Amino acid sequence: MAVPTTRQHAGTEPDSGSVTEAIRVSVPGSGLRQDLRAVNIVWSREILRFKSDRLRAITSLVQPVLFLFVLGTGLSSLASHGLPPGVNFRTYLYPGVLSMSVLFTAIFSAASIVWDREFGFLREMLVAPVSRSAIVIGKCLGGATVSTFQGIIILALAGLAGVPYNPVLILTVIGELLLLSFTLTAFGVMMAARITQMQAFMALTQMLVMPLFFLSGALYPLRALPVWLTVLTRFDPLTYAVYPMRYAVFSYLHVSPAAAVALLPSLTWAGWAVPVGLSLGIVAVMGAGLLVLAIAQFQRTE
Amino acid sequence: MTEPAVQVTDLVKRYGELEAVRGIDFAVEPGETFGFLGPNGAGKSTTIKILCTLAHPTSGSARVAGHDVVRDKDTVRRNIGLVFQDPTLDSYLTGEQNLRFHADLYGVPRAQLAARMKLVLDMVNLWDRRNAEVATYSGGMKRRLEIARGLLHAPRVLFLDEPTVGLDPQTRTSIWEYINDLKQREDITIFLTTHYMDEAEHCDRIAIIDHGQIVAIDTPENLKASIGKDRVQIATADDQEAIRELKERFDLEAAVHDGLVTFSVASGEQFVPRLFTELTLPIRSVHVARPSLDDVFMSYTGRTIRDTEATAGDRNRAHMMAFRRGR
């Protein structure tokens, strides 16, 4: 057996005298550019998977549509007493349903890590010579893109809920959806780092997702609640994502100025009104924190 | 000076109470095909995991392609290709998409990618199926795609962990054809684990591993020679007379097995001519068998590899039954 006297090391120029010259590839050393390429491919894969899975895109529309049109219409005669005249309950529910669709899609995207582990593909990613953070960031960006896209489909239904198609409003909401879905995917990925079985992951996330949703004020105003519920809603991270979205939607409604004032939501801490910017800041900081935690979880080696 | 492709020094891996690898040492030369032979649970997979930087050694050290697997993890990773026991493909993507994903993770230069992809896919005969979803591939095709993917970034060492496990005999044979072909075409070191004796024969050298320790390490030929004797079987007109004569003239203990006079002797082929000249009885037929790797494994571990598999199987069955009862 021929043992070559000079071996080509990764990162050096190809050895022109080598017999296998034609098929020699020189793999570059690690670096930011390499990590970005990894982020990009992990992200692209999520989108590719989503595109080829039309069934998922359709089925995940069922729940928001049910909430918006069935629950929203069914409850409107009851709920309209609390709303200014000319405002439909569906309109009220709309920002909450947007957050809900993102909530479910983002967690489901993160669940793909559990599948990837079960089918072995996670290993292919974890043994690659790229930093684990590149993989986790790619995954979170992928999940955020896919669930924002899902949110955009709901956004297309805005007219049916009495929400105007204002470009500024739409861009604002898309931005907020992106932020929320990134944070939620990071949360899901962090959970998926440790939970190796799909059933366990689904059971645990269901147990967390429903309370998160119900306590977020997606379905009811955060004013004049009993103390215990007020406290719980303020501890729900999702509250801080639903509030800016509702604020944006309600600012653009075609209603009388009096109705607009009555309708604008408020989020208070012991009587102090939390600014929308701070609320978004809280979501962003949480997203960053969860991302760091998720990366830390994936950096552990046996 | 060429440094070893794989250099392992006093490697130990403990999982709590369990000592999976108990201080092993070996080196694999560049260009060599080196096999780890042992029953399930002997420590093969744990060792391969450490060499592939997927597990930290408890103590000792390992260098792959000249780099330490703990300190220089990423460099090691760039220089190795991996084919695991269990599939690690995305079956929703096409064969080509799986390779592209790998190329981006390993930073294969874009300019070289198309040619390299064609080369590795041709090598495993999958070029025509590159645009089909992996979900539509057979078990053998998936394994071949994994081999192609493992080679895509031109690694210096290719690790194959039980490359043919779970495949039917024909597919196993074809996988070995691809691996042998690969040895001719690429300038590469192959490190593989197996618990199939016949596959170990393909290796330049093998290490027999049992209970986390290397009990023997050499070429298959030398290992077989090391247990010495060949088995000679002769058919004669009078077996009892033949046995008496063998004892008298050669001081050999023979006995009748399967209707043939059977005895063991060092280098059987050289012994046969003497047999014909010195034995007075006419001999109707001679059969000389060299020791098999099964005999080698048996002589080093005191049992056959199938014995150990059988006990493991029984244990699994007992476990399954307990599990069913529990439900």
Gap between the Cα atoms of A209 and A197, Å rounded: 18
Gap between the Cα atoms of A258 and A279, Å rounded: 25
Interval A144-176: pLDDT, tens: 999 999 999 999 999 999 999 999 999 999 999
Query: Of the candidates B2, B66, B104, which has its C-beta nearest A37's C-beta?
Result: B104
**B93/A126 touch (CB, cutoff 8 Å), yes or no:** no
Pairing of strands A272-273, B6-15: unpaired
Enumerate the β-bridge partners of residue B9.
Answer: B61
Alpha-carbon gap: A215 to the closest alpha carbon of chain B (Å): 37
Q: Where are the domains of chain B?
A: 229-289
* Cα radius of gyration (chain A): 24
Tell me the chain B residues in contact with residue A10 when contact means C-beta distances shorter than 8 Å: 75, 78-79
Note whether B98 and B126 are within 8 A (CB): no
Structure tokens at A135: 């993989």
Q: What is the mean pLDDT of residues A28-52?
A: 88
Q: Which fold has domain B229-289?
A: Alpha-Beta Plaits (3.30.70)
Whether the per-residue pLDDT at B310 is higher than 70: the answer is no
Query: Of the candidates A3, A10, A123, which has its C-beta nearest B78's C-beta?
Result: A10
DSSP A161-213: GT----HHHHHHHHHHHHHHHHHHHHHHHHHHHH---HHHHHHHHHHHHHHHH
- The angle, 0 to 180 degrees and rounded to 10, between the axes of the packed helices A89-118 and A167-194 is 40
Gap between the Cα atoms of B248 and B256, Å rounded: 17
Interval B45-98: pLDDT, tens: 899 999 999 899 999 999 999 999 999 998 999 999 999 888 899 999 999 999
In this prediction, what percent of chain B has a pLDDT beyond 90?
47
Hey, is B15 helix, strand or coil? strand
Tell me the chain A residues in contact with residue B52 when contact means C-beta distances shorter than 8 Å: 127
Cα–Cα distance list, A279 to A225, A237, A260, B35, B295 (Å):
20, 10, 21, 60, 73
Among the ranges given (A175-179, B37-41, B206-210), the one the predictor scored with the smallest mean pLDDT: B37-41
- Classify the complex by whether its ipTM is higher than 0.85, answering yes or no: no
The strands making up B189-194's β-sheet, listed across from edge to edge, are: B80-83, B157-161, B189-194, B33-37, B205-210, B213-218
**B56/A40 touch (CB, cutoff 8 Å), yes or no:** no
Enumerate the β-bridge partners of residue B64.
Answer: B6, B67
Tell me the chain A residues in contact with residue B156 when contact means C-beta distances shorter than 8 Å: 7
Structure tokens at A212: 């998160």
What pLDDT does A78 receive? 84
**A28/B107 touch (CB, cutoff 8 Å), yes or no:** yes
Number of CB pairs, chain A paired with chain B, less than 8 A apart: 123
Whether the per-residue pLDDT at B134 is higher than 50: the answer is yes
Q: What is the mean pLDDT of residues A70-81?
A: 86
Q: What is the mean pLDDT of residues A98-114?
A: 91
**B104/A301 touch (CB, cutoff 8 Å), yes or no:** no
Residue of A nearest to B66 (CA): A9
Q: What is the mean pLDDT of residues B258-268?
A: 80
Nearest residue to A180 (alpha-carbon basis) of A262, A238, A227: A238
Confidence band, pLDDT 50/70/90 cuts, at residue A30? low
Note whether A209 and A195 are within 8 A (CB): no
The enclosing H or E element of B51 equals helix B44-51
Question: Within chain B, how many helices (H) and strands (E) appear?
Answer: 12, 14
**B53/A4 touch (CB, cutoff 8 Å), yes or no:** no
Task: Select from A18, A40, A121, A298 the residue whose CB has the most chain B CBs within 10 Å, as the one to mutate to test that interface.
Answer: A121
Task: Select from A3, A20, A23 the residue whose CB has the most chain B CBs within 10 Å, as the one to mutate to test that interface.
Answer: A23
Residue of A nearest to B5 (CA): A7
What's the mean per-residue pLDDT of chain B? 86
DSSP A109-150: HHHHHHHHHHTTHHHHHHTSSS-HHHHHHHHHHHHHHHHHHH
Gap between the Cα atoms of A175 and A196, Å rounded: 32
Gap between the Cα atoms of A169 and A244, Å rounded: 12
**B88/A121 touch (CB, cutoff 8 Å), yes or no:** yes
**A52/B90 touch (CB, cutoff 8 Å), yes or no:** no
Alpha-carbon gap: B120 to the closest alpha carbon of chain A (Å): 9
Tell me the chain B residues in contact with residue A123 when contact means C-beta distances shorter than 8 Å: 54, 84, 88
